Amino acid sequence: MGDLNSEWQAELARAYNSAESLAAALQLPQSWVTSHHSARKLFPIRVPRPFAELIEAGNPDDPLLLQVAPHAHEHAQRDGFSTDPLGEADATATSGVLHKYGSRVLVILRGGCAVNCRYCFRRHFPYDEHKFGQAECEQALNYIQLHPEINEVILSGGDPLMAKDRQLETILTAFAALPQIRRIRIHTRLPVVIPQRLTTELKTLLMGVGVPVIMVLHINHARELGQRLADTLSQWNNVGITWLNQSVLLKGVNDSAETLCELSERLFEVGILPYYLHQLDRVQGAAHFAVEDAQAILIMQEVTARLPGFLVPKFVREIHGEASKTPINLQR
């Protein structure tokens, strides 16, 4: 099984990788480029064209643009923000494998992403120290077998769907063959920014894994669910894959009850259930996205009042050393 020269890889190669090219495509003025382009030195720019097509041209404050465009605020140094906000260096089990929570391990399958989100908590992650090839896969399998409490594997990154289908098939088959593994989760943003990644071949592959597969997308705003992605998801209905979504609460992007409610409703329309809404991980370079807890709680109280329970994502933060994500108390 292979996907050489596939449409999604062609889109990946065509992605905008400079403030100048992105500004030209979105009819943004040179003053915007001049103000913000230096942040590319802190974190490279990558914006696929299918995602860029969803951004309102001429609007520098578009909520989709704010997530992916460099900004001068990234240079600011804020107390409490670090290059490893979740202490993942302390959770490394073997190369490419993080064991933060007892029953599940996270595999850094690929270091690259199809899009570089400016708030990414792994924007400083040492991916070059977490290669994941055949030798690392064997180490991971051995580690899991030595820890019978592990029953779930989470493929992450970077973005695991940056891997070619043949590599995905090999790795998924190997993990699913372990008797203790009950399910495999794939955390990905790639189908959101390049819907063409959801190929028929990938669907067939995932249906044949042998254990339940959960696809966790990362969508922060309803407009990210464009028609192309919605149409593609409709072709994946009733194939036995569970679809969930996790979001991050971001100032200027989705920091209102109306926006979050609209997102949950839109997700449900296309067959995805809201899973988590994360309070921002305090990564260096992303402080301008932070929403204070007091305001966030008021927003989520309104969301909870307006939506049925199954459409309300769990509002959580990740705290280094805790046994799981930590729910944020809305009753303060």
CA distance 255 to 55: 18
Residues 6+ apart with CB under 8 A from 136: 94, 95, 96, 97
> Model confidence over 230-261: pLDDT tens digits?
999 999 988 999 999 999 999 999 999 999 99
Alpha helices, DSSP H, located in the chain: 7-13, 19-26, 30-36, 49-52, 63-68, 134-145, 165-176, 190-193, 200-207, 227-234, 257-269, 293-306
Which helix (H) or strand (E) is 115 found in, with range? Answer: none
pLDDT-based confidence at 130, cuts 50/70/90? low
Q: Which residue has the tokens 């290669």?
A: 131
88-327 topology per CATH: TIM Barrel (3.20.20)
- Which tens digits make up the pLDDT trace of 301-320? 999 999 999 999 999 998 88
Nearest to 11 by CA among 220, 216, 228: 228
Question: What 8-state DSSP symbol labels residue 55?
Answer: S
pLDDT band at 5 (very low <50, low <70, confident <90, very high): very low
Domain boundaries defined on the chain: 7-75, 88-327
Q: From residue 182, how far is each of 48, 94, 150 by CA, in Å? A: 34, 21, 9
- Sorted by sequence, the CB contacts under 8 Å of residue 255 that are 6+ apart come out as 249, 291, 295, 296, 299
0.85 exceeded by pTM: yes
Cα separation, 127 vs 108, in Å, equals 8
